[in-house]
Amino acid sequence: MKKLIISAIIIVSLLVTVGTVFAVKPAGNLAGAVKVLWNLSGEVMPSPPWGLSDILGSDTASKLIVNQPNGNTEVAITGAMNGLHPDTTYTVYLSNTYEPYVYMGWDITGDWALRLHYGNSTFDHDVVIDDVHLDGSFEGTGGYPAGGEPYSYPYNEIIAGTIDVTTEAVTIHSVYENGYWYEATGTIASDGTMSGTWSGSGQPGPYTWESIQGHATKTHTGSTGWSGLFTNTVQPFTFMTNTYGAGSWHLNLKDADFFGPDTYNLSVWINESGGTMLISDSFTVTVD
């Protein structure tokens, strides 16, 4: 194969936007190399469960160099690792590319039932959330008692509210056509349920409430898990750190490690005791 270009995809923003900058090897300089950035696993994958094995500072203390040397080696990849646990064995995975995970907020559309507590009594209300707009506002309909139409409380109910992606706070304002209203404020729990406090017409409260039907789901862009081995010819391998938490490893990719002339997207993942703690930026290798 004729060696052409190695470029590194540098991921600038991990939580909000993703930008790409290419570091292209100069033409004719077969020994050119690029530095690929490391990321803590919780920065580019959903946390939790990712991030549980992360070591703060190990991403910036470590280096990943991708090189295209002269000779039979297509690509040389070197990891100079620092800031890790001392005298510890780590596993290196040469992996496919991935898209960084970016949390986009909860989706609360759908059918809900809210249980409003009032003294020793409870009142279950249906709430149907039809759509959530980009500004976090939403509309819907409802009815009492919960269980679907026909409702024995024979007044149409209009729902309006807001959801804050940053704080996961929710406000649900309900108005019946006879003038009765209630407003429930609360938050979304990690399991997708909602709870908080409420007040209403002639019921200043605050009283408590929780959802007894319905489930919010997290929305996101990007990947949520390991992208898999880049090639079966390069199996996971290990290196060990010294008493200072430093170690190194080197990998040469040859013709047999590629599937023919093409542009390939790769990444490198580092595990400790089965848990991922470092994930490199994706980088591209173009061979002909």
Distance CA 271, CA 83 (A): 14
Distance CA 241, CA 84 (A): 7
- For the chain, how long is the longest CA-to-CA vector? 84
**pLDDT tens digits, the chain, 288 residues: what are they?**
434 333 333 222 222 223 333 333 333 444 468 999 999 999 999 998 999 999 999 999 999 999 877 666 789 999 999 999 999 999 999 999 999 999 888 899 999 999 999 999 999 999 999 988 888 999 999 999 999 888 999 899 999 999 997 788 999 999 999 999 999 999 999 899 999 999 999 899 899 999 999 999 989 999 999 999 999 999 999 999 999 999 999 999 998 999 888 899 999 999 999 899 999 999 998 787
Q: How far is CA 207 from the centre of its chain?
A: 35
| Domain parsing of the chain, residue ranges | 3-101+222-287, 120-210
**Residue 19, helix vs strand vs coil:** coil
Q: What are phi and psi of 42, to 5 degrees?
A: -70, -10
Q: What are phi and psi of 212, to 5 degrees?
A: -115, -5
pTM: 0.70
Q: Residue 28 is encoded by which pair of tokens?
A: 């004719």
Question: What is the CATH architecture assignment of 3-101+222-287?
Answer: Sandwich (2.60)
Distance CA 158, CA 154 (A): 13
Q: What one-character-per-residue DSSP string does 194-234 give?
A: EEEEEEETTEEEEEEEEEEE---EEEEES--S---BS-TTS
